[in-house]
Amino acid sequence: TKGQLTRAQAADGGRLRRESEHAEIDDNRLAWIQRMLAELSPPDRLLMELVLEGKTLAVISHVLDCAEGTVSRRRKRIEAWLRRQALCADDDR
């Protein structure tokens, strides 16, 4: 019936709006991460770019020519810094 079609179209429009809002949030998060990574030293930026690309610890350690343990510790340090920056950004809102 016409009423069912109208309800279905309204529901679909709501779903599309939510998907668009989620995509915008994801885009904002990615832009924020990219701004933060730009503040890192070139080796730390490269490390995190490789992490974001899904490279393994072994691959990253090979690219950076250092031990896997070093990569792991540096990654943890950078991630802690990013968390602190995110908390500060939330406080500024």
pLDDT tens for 32-47 read 989 999 999 999 999 9
pLDDT at residue 81 tops 60? yes
* Structural tokens at position 82: 């990013």
pLDDT digits (tens, 9 = 90+) for 2-61: 777 777 767 776 666 666 666 777 888 889 989 999 999 999 999 999 999 999 999 999
Residue 21: per-residue pLDDT: 66
Distance CA 64, CA 44 (A): 10
What's the whole-model pTM score?
0.68
Residue 43: per-residue pLDDT: 95
Distance CA 84, CA 78 (A): 10
Q: Is 75 in contact with 47 (CB distance < 8 Å)?
A: yes
Does residue 63 or residue 17 have the better pLDDT? 63
Other C-beta atoms closer than 10 Å to the C-beta of 78 total 19
> For the chain, how many helices (H) and strands (E)?
4, 0
